[in-house]
Structure 1
Amino acid sequence: MRTQNGAPLAGEAIVRIFSNMTGLEKVVGITSVGDAEVASIPIGEYQIEVRAPGFRLFQDQITVWTDESTNYAHIELVPESAASGEFAAPVLLAPKARREMEKALAALEKNDLKEARSRLEKLARLAPGHPDVNYLLGILHLKLAETDAARAYLEKALRLQPNHVSAQLALGGLLYTQQEFAAAIPLLEGVLAADSQNWEARWMLASAYFQQQEYEAARRQLEQALPASGEQRPLLLLLLARTHLALGQPEPARQQLERLLREHPQHAATSAARQLLETLGHVELAAAASVPLAPVRPERIAPLRPSVEPRRWAPPAIDELRPPTVAGVPCSLPEVLRGARRRASELVHHLERFTATEQVRFEQLDEYGGSKYQMEHQWDYLVTIRQIQPGRFSVEEMRDPEASPSLWPSQILTRGLAALGLVFHPYYQNDFRMECEGLSVSEGRPAWQIRFEQRRDRPPRFRSFYAKSKRWPLLLKGRAWISANSFHVLRLETNLLEPAPEIGVQHEHLRIRYQPVRFRHRNVELWLPAEADFYIQYKGRRYHYRHLFRDYLLFSVEIGTPPSTEDAPGPSPPAPGSHP
């Protein structure tokens, strides 16, 4: 657990992991460095909640792929005092329920209410306590003109998530049409607090204030609604004129009426505007003129899309989200790169050949990260790294039993994961522009956060894609977390610098987490890949490969011990404000 500035969470926190499908639930506390460990979690999908004094409730969904290794979740908590408008998300839907929701949405948008009812009833059985599900049921019943049922579902959605903007708008519109103006006002104000450009909500709010005889509040809302009112502008001008009259302001009322007649001479509202102009000499009579309600259809105004965006199919891109760093700690990029070069050189020196057990889970994903198809394989994995000429390495991999691209439905076979950390080797480091973004934390360790990007003035020789019997060099950008104690690479993520449409690669995201493995026979500890996640959008389809590595052997001599808990000896991490 980390705060927004990247520091470990200090104090108390309760971590709850549970599954609505199996009923499993585990609750633990955190350590002094903000970590929590939950043991013996079976493979499956789980929801996670973190409650800490002074912070908003954190909720997310995690997937446990294997019960034979450690699964990690990195959590950033938002203070309760953070700026409004950033609402805590409700519990996320499982992929099966999310797919059912997409089908229900499609039916609603086509106005196929029979199909929508069938889908939503099934969805309600899968996730009865989800606010988006109850919101969509409310929209369905609004379309069916079943207002009592619609109101009940919309009220339930708001009990589950009080800041659900779409439900606020739909219920506010329903109450407005039922002339329950006092009840509609706070809901419509909630919509505008989150979306100040929603002119329909502002128009309803202005009309509701007028009906409640709160004329000054109505005037303010109408003046803000006018710039974006579009074809409804004449009606807003007419209501604004009547509001000025109710405030005893005949001259501003005259100006708005003349404006309406001048700008919209053919609109139906001009007849009422002319009649009102004739009564301006009798302010009391004009102010008493009836004011029709704004033409509102809550099932049309309320967006059909739920207010919470579905989960991504891949992690955020490197430049889309910059992880936080500790303020006030200077970073010496040359010193960090020297240390990383030394560690990469040591890795090549010791790692001429190693073996491991590699487990790969393959998934084809939908656009929201839901799994459409899965399969899994396991191999004995042999890697040989050797220098074939000055300034260039050859990384050869063998898998037993033999693996080929045809093994996977994607026709893609991943290779070279073990060598990606060599981006900091002296042979390759100058191929990239490097930037130190500051001191961060990775796996509970202080780490320098380094962003790198392949230089266009250097030939791309680090990463390739083989397709159509041809090698296609790829340009990379990425971010690495390098131990502030020992300069080992702890974690690394990469994206393509640009898509490769000529071979059908639209997007790629790779992230690798490293672990220390000690080989007693040679008295050496090396940081080797523990797990790697590879996401790729290829020819319009989305795939995810998850690689897990264990049982390392060096020179086929000795089994590596479980990961150690300390970095290799090195200088102490820098204190805030000091130079590293």
Structure 2
Amino acid sequence: MMASQSNSSVDLDIYLRGPDGASLADTAALTLFTAAGQLYKQGVTKKGHLRWDEVARAKYEIQVLAPGFERAVQPVDPSGAGALRVDVQLRPQTGGERAYPPPASDAEVNYVFGLYASRSGDWEQAKSYWARTLELLPDHVSAMVSMSEALLHENKALEAMEYLVRAEKIDPAYWRTQAVLAEIALRAGSTAEAVLHAERAMELGHEEAASAAPLLARALAARADEVLRTYLKDHPEDVAARKQLEDLHAPSEVRTSSEQPKADSREKSSAAASAKPAPRPGDTLWLPPDVDENVPPVEPGAACNLEEVLERAGKRIQEFVENVDRFTATEFLQHETLARSGNVTATQKRKYDYVVSITEVRPGVLDLQEYESSGSTPADAPGGMTTRGLPALVLIFHPYYSGTFAMKCEGLATWNGTRTWQVYFRQREDQPNKIRAYRIGLENYPVALKGRAWIVADSYQILGVQTDLIAGVPDIRLTAEHTAIQYGPVHFASRGVDMWLPQTAEVYSERKGKRIHRRLSFTNYLLFAVDEKQQIATPNSNP
């Protein structure tokens, strides 16, 4: 005689709760495994709940993947009749997940798997899940928009736009489509369009689109900056408009420790790293924002271990020094002389053969030498100055020198489409300045720097560095200097090594009342005594 349904099956009610005990609002993917490890059921939650009816009575294991939380596994041993309630408590995610479940046969489950992978920083894995989602359900708008976000992280705006156009046609009222369109427009410099899309996102999404508010604020600020700068080019005498622009870039009130981004700073000399910024010269509209004035946003809740970041980044810099005796490159320079208003009054262009050598002259001391020439003749210097020391800035993170800087990890950020650890640094007053100096005649004048670096989250390579002066140097009448460098991987096949070297750089400076802006780019890298030219590759987050 067959057993009745009440004896052979059970209804499972699964409830997910966050660390605070509240029901999990975001969607999670649940997988039910038999005691033998076979997949039995899959589904996604709604407002923290999923019900499976008439589950065969047996021992199971529930696996929970919720974006932003650690993977959870809950054993289930039904006994008795009727429904069984299962409560699963989730813990915040503290590290990147690298073991993912195979793609599911359910489109929604794959979509949530992709969200989980993206929150873990694995965009390639996320894209594979979302691609599977779209195979199973080609009109899955959320997956299209998520794919566009992943592509935007890779700076593939045109490919991202293809998904967004499809998504907007299928569901014109989906707010996330408008939010990503706003981000693309903002990156492209189309500030008016960015404002329209950001406002539309908030209008469509209401409370759900609250995360678009900072995006709208950025778009409005960028639009205001653009409008004022355009106006001042034709009306430089308008003092009120100039004051508006200055106020737009004025530093906000210094944050207290309770207002810092939610990240495990473990700061070195935190008092120094959080010191009040030194004032810049009064007229700063020609300069990019100071690193203390413009703090890029970081992801809330992403824990950052400063000691680990510095240790692993330091190893990368040590590898760089060990692999390089000397390298050459072709340097392209555009030198602009600026008026007091910031307008360009003269432009000069140069092309140089650029040579760098790095040697350890004695334990704990590195010597970096740079040479420039124009064919068989020495390089001339537009404006009477040369720009050197760009490769040396990454040595800030070499173990020999990192202790001379106060540092703090501000959190996990996206910089130029890549997930990075955002680290602020500042020359310590109680340590010698070994990184930057101006050489005038036979005299060296050390320059104390503060700045910010973006370190690739999974490979710990230095992707970008920006620096400003902590204070001017009156002895040489240096009142301002802002440097921004982007690094990228260069593969040297003949030696079998990869090195991250400068791709582009911009330098703004004011000395003796003269203002200049320089743009530099580097190509055709060669290791010393290697014949094959090596091209700069597209930045990749892999080691």
1:578 paired residue number: none
Give the superposition deviation at 1:374.
0.5
User: For residues 546 and 399 of structure 1, do their structure 2 counterparts lie closer, same or farther at Cα, with a shift above 3 Å needed?
Assistant: same
Amino acid at match of 2:234: E
Give the superposition deviation at 1:59.
6.0
1:69-111 CA distance string (max 9 Å, x none): xxxxxx99994354999567269479898543226x59xx9xx
Amino acid at match of 1:336: V
1:340 match: secondary structure: helix
Identical amino acids, percent of aligned pairs: 33
2:382 paired residue number: 408
1:508 match: secondary structure: strand
Give the superposition deviation at 1:329.
0.7
User: For residues 537 and 519 of structure 1, do their structure 2 counterparts lie closer, same or farther at Cα, with a shift above 3 Å needed?
Assistant: same
1:502-526 CA distance string (max 9 Å, x none): 2111111111000111111111111
Do the aligned partners of 1:362 and 1:545 also contact (CA within 8 Å) in 2? yes
Q: What is the CA–CA distance in structure 2 between the aligned matches of 1:481 and 1:29, rounded to whole Å?
A: 20
User: For residues 12 and 532 of structure 1, do their structure 2 counterparts lie closer, same or farther at Cα, with a shift above 3 Å needed?
Assistant: farther
Amino acid at match of 2:330: T
User: For residues 91 and 564 of structure 1, do their structure 2 counterparts lie closer, same or farther at Cα, with a shift above 3 Å needed?
Assistant: closer
Is 1:53 the equivalent of 2:178? yes
Q: What is the CA–CA distance in structure 1 between the aligned matches of 2:195 and 2:506, rounded to whole Å?
A: 21
Is 1:421 the equivalent of 2:394? yes
Aligned residues: 325
List runs of 5+ in structure 1 lacking aligned partners: 14-27, 40-50, 64-74, 110-131, 133-164, 166-309, 570-580
1:102 match: secondary structure: coil
Q: What is the CA–CA distance in structure 2 between the aligned matches of 1:566 and 1:89, rounded to whole Å?
A: 31
1:567 paired residue number: 541
Amino acid at match of 2:155: D
Counterpart among 414, 419, 422 of residue 449 in structure 1: 422
1:522 match: secondary structure: coil
1:322 match: secondary structure: coil
1:365-420 CA distance string (max 9 Å, x none): 2345421110010011111111112211111111122556x6322x2211121221
Counterpart among 325, 330, 334 of residue 298 in structure 2: 325
Match runs of 1:112-511 below 5 Å: 312-401=285-374, 402-403=377-378, 407-409=381-383, 411-511=384-484
User: For residues 469 and 449 of structure 1, do their structure 2 counterparts lie closer, same or farther at Cα, with a shift above 3 Å needed?
Assistant: same
Do the aligned partners of 1:11 and 1:32 also contact (CA within 8 Å) in 2? no
1:349 match: secondary structure: helix
Amino acid at match of 2:409: C
2:155 paired residue number: 35
Q: What is the CA–CA distance in structure 1 between the aligned matches of 2:144 and 2:541, rounded to whole Å?
A: 27
Do the aligned partners of 1:437 and 1:451 also contact (CA within 8 Å) in 2? yes
Counterpart among 214, 219, 235 of residue 101 in structure 1: 235
Give the superposition deviation at 1:561.
3.6
Q: What is the CA–CA distance in structure 2 between the aligned matches of 1:77 and 1:325, rounded to whole Å?
A: 24
Give the superposition deviation at 1:567.
3.2
Q: What is the CA–CA distance in structure 2 between the aligned matches of 1:52 and 1:312, rounded to whole Å?
A: 34
1:188-219 CA distance string (max 9 Å, x none): xxxxxxxxxxxxxxxxxxxxxxxxxxxxxxxx
User: For residues 531 and 101 of structure 1, do their structure 2 counterparts lie closer, same or farther at Cα, with a shift above 3 Å needed?
Assistant: same
1:34-80 CA distance string (max 9 Å, x none): 734579xxxxxxxxxxx9625869568869xxxxxxxxxxx999943
Do the aligned partners of 1:516 and 1:526 also contact (CA within 8 Å) in 2? yes
Amino acid at match of 1:101: H
Give the superposition deviation at 1:552.
0.3
User: For residues 76 and 364 of structure 1, do their structure 2 counterparts lie closer, same or farther at Cα, with a shift above 3 Å needed?
Assistant: farther
1:309-348 CA distance string (max 9 Å, x none): x993221101001110000110111110110110000000
Give the superposition deviation at 1:565.
5.0
Do the aligned partners of 2:182 and 2:195 also contact (CA within 8 Å) in 1? no
2:494 match: secondary structure: helix
Amino acid at match of 2:428: R
Do the aligned partners of 1:525 and 1:568 also contact (CA within 8 Å) in 2? no
Q: What is the CA–CA distance in structure 2 between the aligned matches of 1:559 and 1:503, rounded to whole Å?
A: 40
Q: What is the CA–CA distance in structure 2 between the aligned matches of 1:90 and 1:451, rounded to whole Å?
A: 27
TM-score (norm 1): 0.50
User: For residues 387 and 12 of structure 1, do their structure 2 counterparts lie closer, same or farther at Cα, with a shift above 3 Å needed?
Assistant: same
User: For residues 380 and 37 of structure 1, do their structure 2 counterparts lie closer, same or farther at Cα, with a shift above 3 Å needed?
Assistant: farther
Q: What is the CA–CA distance in structure 2 between the aligned matches of 1:77 and 1:322, rounded to whole Å?
A: 24
Amino acid at match of 2:390: L
Root mean square deviation of aligned Cα: 3.9
Q: What is the CA–CA distance in structure 2 between the aligned matches of 1:495 and 1:91, rounded to whole Å?
A: 21
User: For residues 420 and 497 of structure 1, do their structure 2 counterparts lie closer, same or farther at Cα, with a shift above 3 Å needed?
Assistant: same
Counterpart among 525, 530, 555 of residue 503 in structure 2: 530
Q: What is the CA–CA distance in structure 1 between the aligned matches of 2:323 and 2:426, rounded to whole Å?
A: 27
User: For residues 399 and 32 of structure 1, do their structure 2 counterparts lie closer, same or farther at Cα, with a shift above 3 Å needed?
Assistant: closer
1:89 paired residue number: 223
Amino acid at match of 1:528: L
Q: What is the CA–CA distance in structure 1 between the aligned matches of 2:300 and 2:152, rounded to whole Å?
A: 21
TM-score (norm 2): 0.53
Counterpart among 526, 529, 540 of residue 556 in structure 1: 529
List runs of 5+ in structure 2 lacking aligned partners: 1-118, 124-141, 160-175, 203-212, 245-282
Q: What is the CA–CA distance in structure 1 between the aligned matches of 2:515 and 2:196, rounded to whole Å?
A: 30
Do the aligned partners of 1:355 and 1:556 also contact (CA within 8 Å) in 2? no
1:184 paired residue number: none
1:334-365 CA distance string (max 9 Å, x none): 11011011000000011110000000100012
Q: What is the CA–CA distance in structure 1 between the aligned matches of 2:314 and 2:306, rounded to whole Å?
A: 12
Amino acid at match of 1:53: Q
2:314 match: secondary structure: helix
2:90 paired residue number: none
User: For residues 505 and 95 of structure 1, do their structure 2 counterparts lie closer, same or farther at Cα, with a shift above 3 Å needed?
Assistant: same
Q: What is the CA–CA distance in structure 2 between the aligned matches of 1:459 and 1:349, rounded to whole Å?
A: 24
Do the aligned partners of 2:236 and 2:341 also contact (CA within 8 Å) in 1? no
Pick the structure with greater CA Rg: 1
